[in-house]
Homo-oligomer: A and B are copies of this chain.
Amino acid sequence: MTTKENLIKLATDLILEKGFNAFSFYDLAKTMDIKTASIHYHFPTKTDLGIAVIRQQSESFIALQAANQKKDPVTKLEAFFSIYSRHKSQGKVCMVGSLCTDLYSLDPAIEKELKPVVESILQWVTDILKEGKRKGVFHFSATPRTKALLIITNMLGILQVSRITGKTDFNEVRTAILKELKTKTE
């Protein structure tokens, strides 16, 4: 792994753990055992580093989506949930939740970069739900897009709230979402 890739990975970890405004180039430098000035060679500004983090996460989402393209809707949704499970096991929140919370304190370039990523995630979940409904395995009354928002906000939110209420709540929520989706409504 190159220094650049390492920096992106470390920055991602710190953003998901403490937030964009709470990590510094020095945090990265001491872990990498280099000087802060060297980081600026790879990323001129902190915003540039933030953008690289967003792009990398976006690619990661797209890869997961592609890897599950031919699977059934339940498996697809579980693949989506697995991202959050991994974050939860590390006490982290998700990138979208972390950056959206701090959004209005960040360089507008961050919002610009984040927007299409959020929209593509929303589209992905929406498509999974549509397919599930068509195949008769998922049942819900809201529009697929609204139901996708409900599920995404459940995942995003429980990562944050369960830092306080207890980490077992994540699995409670995850299980409940799937169970409810599989239950027919009158």
Contact = CB atoms under 8 A, between A and B. Distances in A.
Interface in A1-47: 17-19, 21-23
A184 interface: yes
A34 to B, nearest CB: 23
Contacts of A183: 141, 185-186
A122 B172 CA distance: 14
A180 B149 contact: no
A177 interface: yes
B160 A18 contact: no
Interface string A92-127: 010011101111110000010011001100100000
B157 A152 contact: yes
Interface string A157-186: 110110111000100110011011001111
Contacts of A96: 160-161, 164
B111 A160 contact: no
A176 B150 contact: yes
A156 interface: yes
Nearest to A185: B183
Given A118-B164, A146-B169, A185-B186, 20 more contacts: A18-B102, A18-B104, A21-B22, A97-B157, A100-B160, A100-B163, A101-B102, A102-B102, A104-B163, A140-B180, A141-B183, A142-B176, A147-B176, A150-B173, A150-B177, A153-B156, A153-B160, A153-B173, A156-B157, A186-B186
